[in-house]
Structure 1
């Protein structure tokens, strides 16, 4: 039995998705979410690479693959935002604790490319609000092999000021 109070559609466009994340303006990098499973903690989303991306480099006509960790972190944020919204809770801010085993088989995501991301939770410590995700980026939608992989650990908090003080 699930404790959902609201069902969120599988497809969410940029504007609907932006309501569930703390990122705004040029720092909001997701174009759409195409599938999610809040019971199994998975999400598939996409980012369209354009010169408007904050990480875009004109000389390479693309976004460096190292910026992929931010695409993935926002995918994780989208998943937690969708999950909390379904459960009638306010989405919580999250913080990246670590990016582990980051591997990129491409140097850049080229202009005009749609980058598909898949995130899957593989560790959950609900008491401390710490989670780890297996993350993949693909340069072709539904490609067999990812171009970027990583494990990302995050922590959600209800009170960032209490967590970090007035630093």
Structure 2
């Protein structure tokens, strides 16, 4: 299905911390997005962007999926939290300048309490592949959740 929303309309990040370039496609339980690696990309150095940043690319693609679900149901994107990952692997140490990364996130599990798990894959035009399963949490009201967490 062709995307009706821009990254800015789906992901609650702004400025340089909004890392996705565009939303490519989506379905009921998945979303695909691109990231263009440029010399001025956040976290870029003389070698490119370190592979560990791939975790944030994957997390922001999940945020785009969650934001899309909110938009499709008449709401606005909500704040979510990356809880952890299992088996993040990447075939290179850096994403090369000039490469384009295509990320696909697929919902594996979603609990009623806001916890979810996503299977994530990343392919780049420079033959770099990465994958992981990310665990995320999206409370109904993030502000109240953060206030409660500070009290504890």
Runs of 4+ deviating beyond 6 Å: none
How many pairs does the alignment contain? Answer: 149
For structure 2, list consecutive stretches of 5 or more residues without a partner in the other structure: none
Are the equivalent residues in 2 in contact too, given 1:100–1:151 (CA < 8 A)?
Answer: yes
For structure 1, list consecutive stretches of 5 or more residues without a partner in the other structure: 1-8
Task: Provide TM-score, normalisation by structure 2.
Answer: 0.90
1:116-127 to structure 2, matched below 5 A, reads 116-125=102-111, 127=112
CA displacement at 1:159 relative to structure 2 = 2.2
2:68 aligns with 82
CA displacement at 1:160 relative to structure 2 = 2.3
Match of 2:133 among 148, 151, 160: 151
1:65-80 to structure 2, matched below 5 A, reads 65-80=51-66
1:8-157 to structure 2, matched below 5 A, reads 10-11=2-3, 16-37=6-27, 39=28, 41-58=29-46, 60=47, 62-125=48-111, 127-140=112-125, 147-157=129-139
Cα root mean square deviation, aligned: 1.9
Cα deviation digits, residues 10-62 of structure 1 (max 9, x gap): 2467xx2212211000000011111101x2x101110000122111012x1x1
For 2:98 and 2:118, the matched residues in 1 are separated by: 27
Task: Provide TM-score, normalisation by structure 1.
Answer: 0.82
